[in-house]
Amino acid sequence: MNNTEKPARGAGRAAKSGRPDGARSAARTASAQRRPAAGKGVPPSPLTGDKPYVMSAVRLEQLREVLGLILQWEYPADAVLSRWMRAHPKLGARDRAELADGAFDVLRHLRRYRQFAESGSGPAARRLAILGLATVFSADVLNAGLSDKEQEWLARVRRIDLASLSRSVRTSMPDWLDERLASIEDSEALIDALNQPAPLDVRVNPLKAEREAMLQRMREGGALRFDPEPTPYSPWGIRLQGRPPVNRWPMFENGEIEVQDEGSQILAALVAPKRGEMVIDYCAGAGGKTLLLGALMRSTGRLYAFDVSAARLARAKPRFARSGLSNIVPVVISADNDQRVKRLGGKAHRVLVDAPCSGLGTLRRNPDLKWRQHPESLAELREVQARILRQAARCVAPGGRLVYATCSVLREENEDQVDAFLAENTEFKRMDAGEILKDRCKNLTLEGPYLVLRPDRHGTDGFFAAVLERASP
């Protein structure tokens, strides 16, 4: 799934980047107010003697260095950026925000920017950095760090009519992905939304807080400047603008709120666990959905948090501790033929499979995924998804429910996987997701039996989920 709370797993699994971190924690709105450009009132740099310190020139070189690391595609962009920030601890919060915003703008528009960067002179990597920071700085601030030729080049680029470009270049999608997205209804609107930065969603912990009371606290405190508003569908969600430092807020530290995209919150509602049940979160990751499932169970019954990565589950343990839940059982499992999984065969009332996927529904937060994924990795992921779905299905008790979910917008990872599973497992049948959600997510209207969420229509990351019920004997 997309969610902000879960790191990458499997081949190309989406890194959940909505979480607050040092690279992207400063509010985007702070970028509107910049330090003065070189000239009057600018002190000489201690490193360059009489030459004045020009902030935009320094930032351009820093961004060029960061992009040189990211564009090797060896690691997720968030991880590369965070590592670079840790190696440069003297950078302030605004400096970090400017670099992060510039880097992620380049990743969103990389194909178009690379075409533009073919013109001009000098290193093309510097021109990519210029285009990225052109969305961060005002023209006056940016021009202070550019040569006359660079300013002329940028002015020419800004006069290009984007409508004259092919769609795949204009929207910066690789050809293989553009072809797949073209088959989706209202694909232009979807692509445009995927190319926009996402707000930050948080969720109240139902065991510790009420949403209305939390909203009031935020509006009466320092969070007011991030414009907190209730999410339209999830009854637990609060949407914040910019990049607030949520992980330093007292309500986060004491477990009253967690970072979680609204779509992921809706997925937990779709699982609809009840008090006293046995529930399995089969690909728990960093535990975001596990936390909400446990709260909906009122910390009763038994909630297994399965994952093949001990490191991911270790990162989830502090979150479990903050939440106040006592019904979570973290278990590191083997990818195949795990004996603990076999012992739970036919016993679970609910099983959630938040499957490893391409993460292409999270491009607002992880724009590098469209460049790090490719058709071959997608084929490998489909095999992994089908295998995990078969394994998890064996744990479902008669009359129990299996929920299959991804944070992808591609049919081959979603509806096609469900169709193939049902063809081989006739004891399962589809349930209507809208009927299950209608009481808890009152404003949400779905078409068809599945949960399908899109950023252009729902303001969430792209999500898919199917609810499958096992026949009773």
* Phi/psi at 404 (5° precision): -105, 130
Task: Identify which of 20, 15, 115 has the alpha carbon closest to the alpha carbon of residue 363.
Answer: 15
Q: How far apart are CA 121 and CA 137, in angstroms?
A: 22
Which alpha helices (H) appear in 222-281, and where do they start and end? 250-253, 262-271
3-class SS of residue 403: strand
Q: How far apart are CA 218 and CA 221, in angstroms?
A: 5
Token pair recorded at residue 139: 């023209």
Catalytic residue among 357, 395, 407, 441: 407
Beta bridge partners of 352: 281, 403
| Pair type for strands 257-259 and 237-240 | unpaired
Q: How far apart are CA 242 and CA 26, in angstroms?
A: 8
Task: Identify which of 112, 108, 153, 111 has the alpha carbon closest to the alpha carbon of residue 130.
Answer: 153
**Amino acid sitting at position 450:** Y
Say if residues 414 and 406 touch (Cβ distance below 8 Å): yes
Is 407 a catalytic site residue? yes
Q: How far apart are CA 4 and CA 8, in angstroms?
A: 11
19-33 b/e with 16+ CB inside 10 Å = b? bbbbbbbbbbebbee
430-465 b/e with 16+ CB inside 10 Å = b? ebebbebbeebbeebebeebbbbbbbbebbbbbbbb
Query: What is the rounded end-to-end Cα distance, in angstroms, of the chain?
Result: 32
Task: Identify which of 415, 406, 403 has the alpha carbon closest to the alpha carbon of residue 360.
Answer: 406
Token pair recorded at residue 125: 């990597």
Task: Identify which of 467, 352, 464 has the alpha carbon closest to the alpha carbon of residue 408.
Answer: 464
3-class SS of residue 460: coil
Which residues, in sequence order, are CB contacts of 139 under 8 Å at separation 6+? Answer: none
Beta bridge partners of 200: 240
The total of other beta-carbon atoms located within 10 Å of residue 383's CB is 10
412-429 b/e with 16+ CB inside 10 Å = b? ebbbebbeebeeebeebe
* Catalytic annotation, residues: 407
